[in-house]
Structure 1
Amino acid sequence: MFLFCTAIPLHTTAPIEIIDVTMHIKDIFHQNRVQNGQITIYSAHSTAFVAINECESMLQQDMVTFLTQLVPQHQDFKHNRQPIDGRLNAHSHLLGLFMNASETIPIADGELLLGRWQSIFFIELDGPREERTLRIQIIGER
């Protein structure tokens, strides 16, 4: 059984930002030559998440608009009254209730089983941030 772990450092530049990390994930996958198993992509943050969806620029703009409208930033959230790190980010935590911290993708016959239109995204909800980390774990047979 083969096990590999690594991390991708990220820098975000917008309050809500959707970053396509598919090529990074595919590069890591191809370097490790796993034939059968799974790859897990994990965000170790409470205001940044992982999602699989279609990569199309207007759809991504729609996603940002939807998230911004779903939980508007400027409300009287109790969490914002005494922020731990000075960030008024209750809205980011609340949006996170609807997202995943990780995604797991099967690997079969040396192929990462993403659908034709599927891409892997890191979704920042509390940016900009200098340091974010996306963790990758591959487990399987070579």
Structure 2
Amino acid sequence: MLTAIEYLELATTQPIEIIDVTALIRERIKPLGIDNGLLTVMSAHTTACVNINECEPHLQRDMLTFLKRFVPRDGDYAHNVVATDGRDNAHSHLMALLMTASVSIPIVNGELLIGGWQSVFFIELDGPRPQRRLTLHLMGAA
């Protein structure tokens, strides 16, 4: 069994941003030579998540609208009163409750086993941020 860990460094420019990282992941894992296995993609942040969904601009706009309506920025949140880093970002932490910090994707014949409409997204909930990181942990056989 082979294992490998790679990192994707990202910068975000919006308060809430959905970034399709599928191509970046494919580029990063292809040279590792694992034909069949399992890839775990993990966000190392409490206010940024990983999700698999459809990459369609209208749907992405709907996702942003949904998140903003469901967890408004201007809510009465106790965390904003005692935020340790000075960011009133309770809404970002609460949005993250609706998502996951990681996803696992099978690798078959060297390719991500995802559906034709599926993409892997990094979802920023507390941007903009100059540096964010995704961890790619790949296990499998060559």
Q: Name the TM-score class by shorter chain.
A: over 0.9
Mapped partners of 2:25, 2:130: distance in 1: 21
* 1:44-72 CA-partner distances (Å, limit 9, x unpaired): 10000000000011111111111111100
* Structure 1 residue 82: Cα displacement: 1.4
Please say if 1:89 is aligned against 2:98.
Answer: no
Query: Which runs of 5 or more residues in structure 2 are unaligned?
Result: none
My pick for the range that moved more, 51-60 or 109-118, is: 109-118
Query: Which runs of 5 or more residues in structure 1 are unaligned?
Result: none
* Structure 1 residue 9: Cα displacement: 0.7
Q: Secondary structure of 1:19's match?
A: strand
Mapped partners of 2:65, 2:139: distance in 1: 36
My pick for the range that moved more, 109-118 or 18-27, is: 109-118
Task: Quote the residue 1:56 is aligned against.
Answer: 56
* 1:21-45 CA-partner distances (Å, limit 9, x unpaired): 0001111221112111111100010
1:1-142 paired onto structure 2 within 5 Å: 1-142=1-142
TM-score, length of structure 2 as denominator length: 0.97
* 1:62-104 CA-partner distances (Å, limit 9, x unpaired): 1111111110000110000111000000001111111000010
Aligned residues: 142
AA aligned to 1:17 is E
Q: Secondary structure of 2:45's match?
A: coil
* Structure 1 residue 18: Cα displacement: 0.2
TM-score, length of structure 1 as denominator length: 0.97
AA aligned to 1:40 is T
Mapped partners of 1:71, 1:113: distance in 2: 32
Runs of 4+ residues deviating >6 angstroms: none
Mapped partners of 2:109, 2:75: distance in 1: 50
Q: Secondary structure of 2:84's match?
A: coil
AA aligned to 1:13 is T
Contact residue 26 and residue 111 of structure 2 kept, 8 A: no
Q: Secondary structure of 2:130's match?
A: coil
